Chains A and B, each alone.
Chain A
Amino acid sequence: MKYVVISLSTLLCISLCFLGFNLYNFNKEYSKAKNITNEIDVANKRITEINNYLDENNNTYNEFVEKNKTKIEVYEKWLRYQKEVTEALEK
């Protein structure tokens, strides 16, 4: 009887050790998975944010471009002039 108790206790101890080991592993995998889930959540949130921003501002931008065509064309023309004079200076 005593031997049975001793061997059973040993088995229990071993299984408890395994439990400890398994818990450690579980915790490791769980936090890894949680981190990834968090990262995915953060990325998704940012994508939603950007999409909202694009929705809001694409219209603003298009309206502005429509209304201020000349201003933008003139700005681009100045950029070309700036490039021309910069290159001429470097020659």
Chain B
Amino acid sequence: MAKISKRSNRSLRKIIIIISILFFISITINIIIYLKTNSYKNNYNNMIEQLNSITSSKEEKEKEYQKVSERLDLVNNIDERTNEVKKDFFTKAKQLEDKIIAGESNEKIVYITFDDGPYYLTYQFLEILDEYDVFATFFTIGDNKDVCYDNRSEDCSGMYALEASKGHTMANHTYSHGIWKGLYDSPESFMYQVKLQENLIKDRTGIKTNIVRFPGGAATAGGYKNRIIELLRENGYGWINWTASIGDGGNLRDHNVGWSNFVNNISANIEVLLQHDYNRVTLRILPDEIKYLKEHGYHIFPLFYESNMVNK
């Protein structure tokens, strides 16, 4: 009995030792894990703070990214974007015209147009249009397509592209403008000069014109007028005369006369103002004209094919 009890005592002691060791190990692990957990817990706030600050700087970066990628998208597709805005403008300008014509709007529109260019003086017209933030319409011809007619030592060949690059409407006034030189000999001779000018403008600017102004006005075509209009329509063209003029097509030298012509001519709710970009009087009074028009509530728009003023 004593032997058995001694043996069992020994094995109990062994068990006690093993359990004690296990217990201490468990306690140690517990302590380690507890401390580790606590260190995570204590660090938690720091980490959150770090995360918050990184998140907010990330958000700022995202905004910058958005801005830059939008700007890049714009500059990479600048032609497309410009055309979208332009198209929307023309659609709305047409709607505005419709409302004005129907008497549903008190707004007023003027289309400033310049005939017979380009000339060396055109540079200065373009500068004024830039300065006053105005788009105009240029009914160009081709006769003086290279050397500037009003300054033989200067090159005017880039003027078409310059006008177009500034967003002005490029329109067709026939290549030769030869009222007394065969332009109106037949409908075909007229169309030939329209096509010549169309090709020149296409070549210099990449733009296909679709608005024609008859040199001297549509009446100058006499009996051929209707046939020419038919041919124009077949070739995708509309045509336009003018509703107001300052009489600068001839020898207008006195700016007071020009100014009073201008003021006396502007009255309708939609005006198509005929001027010439070779005339110094016109150049001189142009800033005052623009101011006057704006003060009198006119929107100064560039011409477009869909306009009610463009006959089709």
Asked whether A and B interact, the reply is yes
Contact stretch, chosen from B89-97, B143-151, B239-247, B255-263: B89-97
Q: Is B55 an interface residue (CB 8 A)?
A: yes
Contact residue among B26, B47, B88, B93 (Cβ-Cβ distance under 8 Å from A36): B47
Chain A contacts with B in 1-40, Cβ cutoff 8 A: 1-2, 4-5, 8-9, 11-12, 15-16, 18-19, 22-23, 25-26, 29-30, 32-33, 36-37, 39-40
Contact residue among B29, B30, B40, B167 (Cβ-Cβ distance under 8 Å from A32): B40
B26 and A81 form a contact (CB under 8 A): no
A75 and B82 form a contact (CB under 8 A): yes
Q: Once bound together, how far apart are the Cα atoms of A23 and B41, in whole Å? A: 14
Looking at the assembled complex, report how far the CB atom of B71 sits from the nearest CB atom of chain A, in whole angstroms.
Answer: 6
Q: Is B268 an interface residue (CB 8 A)?
A: no
Name B23's closest neighbour in chain A (CB-CB): A12
Assuming the A-B contacts A16-B26, A22-B33, are A77 and B167 also in contact, with contact meaning beta carbons closer than 8 angstroms in the complex?
yes
Looking at the assembled complex, report how far the CB atom of B265 sits from the nearest CB atom of chain A, in whole angstroms.
Answer: 22
Q: Name B's interface SS.
A: helix
Q: Once bound together, how far apart are the Cα atoms of A17 and B227, in whole Å? A: 105
The proximity string for B residues 50-78 relative to A, scoring 1 for CB distances below 8 Å and 0 otherwise, is: 11001101100110110011011011101
Contacts of A5 in B (CB 8 A): 12, 15-16, 19
B34 and A47 form a contact (CB under 8 A): no
A85 and B96 form a contact (CB under 8 A): yes
Q: Is B86 an interface residue (CB 8 A)?
A: yes
The proximity string for A residues 65-85 relative to B, scoring 1 for CB distances below 8 Å and 0 otherwise, is: 100101110110111111011
The bracket for how many chain B residues form the interface is 35 or more
B68 and A53 form a contact (CB under 8 A): yes
Q: Once bound together, how far apart are the Cα atoms of A77 and B86, in whole Å? A: 10
Name B47's closest neighbour in chain A (CB-CB): A36
Q: Is B264 an interface residue (CB 8 A)?
A: no
Assuming the A-B contacts A23-B33, A91-B105, are A75 and B85 also in contact, with contact meaning beta carbons closer than 8 angstroms in the complex?
yes
B65 and A8 form a contact (CB under 8 A): no
A64 and B75 form a contact (CB under 8 A): yes
Q: Once bound together, how far apart are the Cα atoms of A26 and B58, in whole Å? A: 30
B37 and A39 form a contact (CB under 8 A): no
B51 and A26 form a contact (CB under 8 A): no
**Apart from A12-B23, A16-B26, A36-B48, what are 12 other A-B pairs with CB-CB below 8 Å?**
A11-B23, A32-B44, A36-B44, A36-B51, A43-B58, A50-B61, A75-B78, A78-B85, A81-B85, A82-B89, A82-B92, A88-B105
Q: Which residues of A contact B (CB under 8 A)?
A: 1-2, 4-5, 8-9, 11-12, 15-16, 18-19, 22-23, 25-26, 29-30, 32-33, 36-37, 39-40, 43-44, 46-47, 50-51, 53-54, 57-58, 60-61, 64-65, 68, 70-72, 74-75, 77-82, 84-86, 88-89, 91
Q: Can you list 9 contacts pairing A with B, beta carbon distance less than 8 Å?
A: A1-B12, A32-B44, A36-B47, A54-B68, A68-B78, A75-B82, A82-B85, A85-B301, A89-B95
Closest 7 CB pairs of A and B: A29-B40, A15-B26, A74-B167, A85-B92, A78-B85, A26-B37, A22-B33
